[in-house]
Amino acid sequence: LCMMAAELGPRVGQFSKAQILVDVIAAMGTRAAIEALHILSTKVKTRSVKDRARAAFDAAAKRTGISEHDLADKLITDDKPVGKDFVRRLEQRMVTASKMSAVELIENILQRDAVRQRARGIVFGAQTKSKVVTFTIGEDGELLDIEGDEYTLPKDANVIVVHPIDLSEKQLKKWRAQIAGAPFKQLDRPIRAFSSQRAMTKHLKSIERTTQGSVFGLEHLGWRRGAVIGGRLSSMTRELDGVTATLEIEPGIYVGRGMPASEQRITKIAIRGEGSARAMVEITRELETLARRTRE
């Protein structure tokens, strides 16, 4: 079934009954079916099919009582290389401050050699009722704290991927001295703090033009498409930890097949809600990344 999904992934959107196919796979409820849904939700370009597969995959995660990130990690097989999708999930865990249990960390990452090696260089945090202890994964799979001493993870801890905005300058300096070669920007992640949403919005006004591909690239960072009116997509929305950001573009992107790519003018960036500093930093970074891609 997974092989079928991998083969059909690039073409499934061409089938008039594609959404029914997704429903049939979802109804099977087997591990192979869940793997197929994950493939379809990440590889298919047709939006309606991709969204349906994603909803079915998320529902499967909810039924098992774990997050969609944890379920996707469980599906990693030992006979295949651990790729960019796993690293992207680690980064999204940091961006969204999502938690995994100590058991999930042990079973999905620490006890699996290839996965554990891919997660080396990342600073995790163990949350208990009283405090947060930061740690990383050592060369032989042991856990090490900020002093380089071996650390025992409490069984009742919730584990997060630490965001640098939550570390002091002293902690950042110590961790940077210990760690090299992280799989994504964590300790050296650019942090631009603003005194207010107004200051943030004013800064983002410098982003004036973009491309169709760059707008769609925001989806990989958690942005959602707005309504399609007259065959055109003219907005994207991001919700993160109490903050809602809306991006509006003109002339809009044709969503039909065979339509040429077009340059887009950014007409509005609106920020609403009282969220965390982490959310403000990440939304700003995502939009700045969009501008850099456009210049490239």
Encode pLDDT of 96-141 as tens digits. Answer: 999 999 999 999 999 988 899 999 999 999 998 878 999 999 999 9
C-alpha pair distances (Å), 2 with each of 17, 32, 174: 19, 6, 44
Q: Residue 49: which pLDDT band, with cuts at 50, 70 and 90?
A: confident
Architecture of the CATH domain 197-295? 2-Layer Sandwich (3.30)
Confidence of residue 220 (pLDDT cuts 50, 70, 90): confident
CA gap 44, 41 in Å, rounded:
6
Phi, psi (deg, nearest 5) at residue 165:
-65, -20
Tens digit of each residue's pLDDT (9 = 90 or more) over 166-183: 999 999 999 999 998 899
pLDDT digits (tens, 9 = 90+) for 199-212: 888 888 888 888 88
Question: pLDDT digits over 61-72, tens only?
Answer: 888 787 888 888
CATH 3.30.310 positions along the chain are 197-295
* Sign of the torsion formed by the C-alpha atoms of 289, 282, 274 and 59: positive
Nearest Cα neighbor of 165 from 219, 97, 222 is 97
Q: Which residues of 54-63 are buried (b: 16+ CB within 10 A; e: fewer)?
A: bebbeebbee
- Phi and psi at 258, nearest 5°, equal 80, 5
